[in-house]
Structure 1
């Protein structure tokens, strides 16, 4: 049997800032593409899901020259990859209807969108709680996608990720991109406050934390490496 992985993408196309304004966003292109490529190469059976089954919106900033080292070939390749997956991205599975028992792993992609929807979404909370509780399954997330761990709840109401080592986009990195002063809350700070054993690496450099069956990546550069780490962890099960 092939390994079944649930890839969760934000359904939000804007992030509500602390002044009430809407910051256009969505999912970060490379944080979906690179893991999808890794999971495809590993032969995984990939299911893409979003809240409500809405078609996800790619954050156009993630495809800008400034965010891709002025490498137009890379931008063109990313756009082509997304176009190739057009049908699957246009009709994702409804996250709320997912049965966690059907999957060996879940991986939550990033972009600022998860700060808007997945950070307060009971459906993803249920999925990550269930999979984390099975030592033979793996929970993975990258960058702002780690916000999807926040709504997880154990039966006693506690946060199942308390005491676990993890990472996400750091408060320093949010400051460097200029959005920290406008953010209603910061992910690293929220994860620490919830009881996560937060670990961070150098700004915008690849950094992955593996703690048992939990795999998290810090930023866009960590998307591919975190997906590869998830594949390795599952291979060891």
Structure 2
């Protein structure tokens, strides 16, 4: 039977009180999606509210020359317009952690506002981890992990760095700094690339994290590798 991944997208579309639109980040779903399709992996899509999961318009503009991103944008809109509510998955039988082999959180700034504090999401992540299933996220996606008790303790982890947040001039709008939160949750085991925006994917047991948009392709490959191991 083909492996199956639950992909969780943000439902949040505003960056704090700035009025700036946000959501999930196009290449951070498009590139892993391509890797999953190539490997014959099945996918289901969910979000805290269900239905439409907002796509960050800035990511569409910034990655308009990226073939993977434009293809996903043009051909798969139904996937993020018809997500299942997380509450539905949390109460399903059999349990989601028994139906899926991995759970994956793409980034975008949206997860900093909703998934970081979503108790239903945290419950699902904890259940996946307890069963030894793969728990993965890229860029701001690891915000969903910081408040899951014990998940990151003693594990190497990465995510969008303070320097990268400063460079895009969005630190002032963040409810917290992701690097700091990951550093705290892991007990000082946050790992970042030598240079901002460089590819960096960290595999620590069943937890797989990527630092930034440039890590999106690699994290897809690492998840596939872990599923086939």
- Please report the TM-score for the alignment, with normalisation by the length of structure 2: 0.91
Matches within 5 A, 1:134-153: 134-135=131-132, 137-153=133-149
CA distance in structure 2 between the aligned counterparts of 1:189 and 1:210, rounded to whole angstroms: 19
Length, aligned pairs only: 221
Q: 2:182 aligns with which of 183, 191, 202?
A: 191
Aligned mates of 2:130, 2:160 — CA distance in 1:
25
Counterpart secondary structure, 1:23: coil
Residue equivalent to 2:20? 23
Please name the residue that 2:201 is paired with.
208
Corresponding residue for 1:84?
Answer: 75
TM-score (norm 1): 0.88
Q: Which runs of 5+ in 1 are unaligned?
A: 154-158
More displaced 10-residue stretch of structure 1: 171-180 or 80-89: 80-89
The offset of 1:21, in angstroms, is 3.1
In structure 2, which of residues 75, 88, 108 is the aligned counterpart of residue 97 of structure 1? 88
Corresponding residue SS for 1:7: strand
Conserved? CA contact 1:121–1:151, under 8 Å: no
Whole-angstrom distance in 1 between the partners of 2:79 and 2:147: 26
Residue 123 of structure 1 pairs with residue 125 of structure 2:
no
- Between the aligned partners of 1:63 and 1:86, the Cα distance in structure 2 is 13
Residue 15 of structure 2 aligns to a residue whose secondary structure is: strand
Give 3-state SS (helix, strand or coil) of 2:140's partner. Answer: helix
Is the contact made by 1:11 and 1:55 (CA closer than 8 Å) also made in structure 2? yes
Aligned mates of 2:109, 2:84 — CA distance in 1: 21
Aligned-residue offset at 1:57: 1.3
Per-residue CA deviation, residues 140-191 of structure 1 (Å, 9 max, x unaligned), is 10000000112323xxxxx322111100000111011111133231001011
Q: Give unpaired runs (5+ residues) of structure 2.
A: 90-95
Distance 2:14 2:154 in 1: 31
CA distance in 2, matches of 1:78, 1:225: 15
Residue 32 of structure 2 corresponds to residue 39 of structure 1: no
Contact 1:124 1:151 in 2 (8 A): no
Name the counterpart of 2:216. 223
Contact 1:49 1:93 (C-alpha < 8 Å) held by counterparts: yes
Q: Deviations over 1:4-38 (max 9, x none)?
A: 1001111111121xxx4343101110001111111
Deviation at residue 134 of structure 1 after TM alignment: 2.1
Helix, strand or coil for the counterpart of 1:46?
strand
Deviations 1:104-139 (CA, angstroms, capped at 9, x unpaired):
00110000000011000112111211111223x211
Q: Say whether residues 1:11 and 2:11 are aligned partners.
A: yes
Describe the SS at the equivalent of 2:55. coil
